[in-house]
């Protein structure tokens, strides 16, 4: 792919086609709450998810996967061991990987553990403002899984984190922010209903890993993932009568979204 971030809509359309054509194998080591929703989101998108999350297998799988998600939502001891193994193997194999440091800040196990993973230099880091601030080392984190900080407040932390790790950093919120440390892009698509479905943010991390599998321009693939995901949310919200029907419609929308919807609705700032 030769398109550049300067042409994000066209890039996103092409990247989505690539995901559907390649069906990238995306390993998801994620939390027990969202694992089903995440797998279904991946299948709807056209990717091939595999939830290989036990020691000895996690590393082997990360070596052959096209992308990897590590999500700290419910990090059991055995899963933490698998996460480290997978991140190391991904780095060795050149597999792009996404770190989602769910609810870090004051939580005494996952917070120091997230710093270890951060220092393994994830390809992409995704979190809400409080999580990104905490991962950058200069905040106390949020309240459970909810951000108590504003997205724009997290810009300095996101920029510093990107500079420190070489990661693309994405901050989720009403307007999503993505930075590689030098450029910052904002995407204003989405629906508040996405925050009323558990895994609304977590599954996005897996989608970012799927898009990262099809192009090495990870700033652009991260933007593409967010656009596809949040525009699908808009399509679903228009047909839903509450968070239950929205979640179902969102999976349908991820399967149905096409280049026209992306072109018509993209709200990149």
Residue number, 255 or 267, with CB nearest to a second copy: 255
Judging by DSSP bridges, how do beta strands 67-71 and 124-128 pair with one another? unpaired
* Shortest reach from residue 235's CB to a second copy, in Å: 11
Per the DSSP assignment, residues forming a β-bridge with 125 are 99, 169
DSSP state for residue 143 in the 8-state scheme: B
Q: Is 126 annotated as a binding residue?
A: yes
Q: In the complex with a second copy, which residue's Cβ is closer, 81 or 152?
A: 81
Please say which residue, 253 or 266, places its beta carbon nearer to a second copy. 253
Q: Given phi > 0 = left and psi -120 to 50 = alpha, else beta, which region is 178?
A: beta
In angstroms, what is the minimal distance from the CB of 111 to a second copy?
9
Rounded Cα distance between 144 and 171, Å, is 17
| 199 labelled ligand-binding | yes
Instruction: Between 183 and 196, name the residue whose CB sits nearer to a second copy.
Output: 196
By beta-carbon proximity to a second copy, the closer residue of 25 and 266 is 25
Taking alpha carbons only, the member of 38, 27, 133, 42 closest to residue 83 is 27
Q: How far is the CB of 175 from a second copy (least distance, A)?
A: 21
152 vs 163: CA distance, rounded Å: 17
Give, to the nearest 10 degrees, the angle between helix 35-45 and helix 202-212.
40
Residues found near a second copy in the complex (CB under 8 A): 25, 31-37, 39-40, 43-44, 48-57, 60-61, 65, 73-78, 103, 106-110, 143-146, 195-199, 240-245, 247-253, 255-256
How long a stretch of residues is the chain? 269
172 is in an annotated binding site: yes
CB of 58 to a second copy, least distance (A): 10
Q: In the chain, which ranges are continuous DSSP H helix? A: 8-22, 35-45, 57-64, 77-93, 110-118, 129-135, 155-165, 202-212, 218-239, 243-256, 259-265
Task: Report the binding-site residues.
Answer: 51, 126, 172, 199
Task: Report the binding-site residues for substrate.
Answer: 51, 199
Task: Report the binding-site residues for ATP.
Answer: 126, 172
């Amino acid at each position: 792919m030769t398109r550049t971030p300067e042409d994000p809509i066209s890039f996103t359309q092409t990247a989505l086609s690539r995901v559907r054509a390649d069906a990238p194998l995306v390993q998801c080591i994620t939390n027990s709450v969202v694992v089903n929703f995440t797998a279904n989101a991946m299948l709807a998108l056209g990717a091939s998810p595999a939830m290989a999350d036990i020691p000895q297998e996690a590393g082997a799988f990360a070596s052959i996967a096209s992308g990897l998600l590590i999500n700290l939502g419910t990090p059991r001891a055995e899963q933490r061991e698998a996460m480290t193994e997978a991140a190391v193997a991904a780095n060795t194999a050149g597999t792009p990987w996404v770190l989602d440091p769910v609810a870090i800040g004051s939580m005494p196990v996952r917070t120091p553990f997230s710093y270890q993973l951060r220092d393994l230099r994830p390809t992409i880091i995704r979190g809400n403002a409080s999580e990104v601030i905490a991962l950058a080392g200069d905040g106390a984190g949020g309240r459970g899984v909810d951000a108590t900080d504003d997205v724009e407040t997290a810009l300095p932390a996101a920029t510093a984190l990107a500079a420190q790790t070489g990661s693309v950093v994405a901050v989720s919120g009403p307007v999503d922010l993505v930075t590689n440390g030098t450029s910052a892009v904002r995407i204003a698509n989405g629906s508040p209903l996405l925050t009323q479905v558990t895994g609304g943010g977590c599954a996005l991390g897996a989608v970012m890993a799927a898009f990262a599998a099809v192009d090495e321009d990870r700033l652009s693939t991260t933007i593409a993932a967010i656009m596809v995901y949040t525009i699908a949310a808009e399509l679903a919200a228009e047909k839903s009568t509450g968070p239950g029907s929205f979640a179902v419609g969102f999976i349908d929308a991820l399967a149905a979204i096409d280049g026209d919807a992306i072109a018509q609705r993209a709200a990149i700032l």
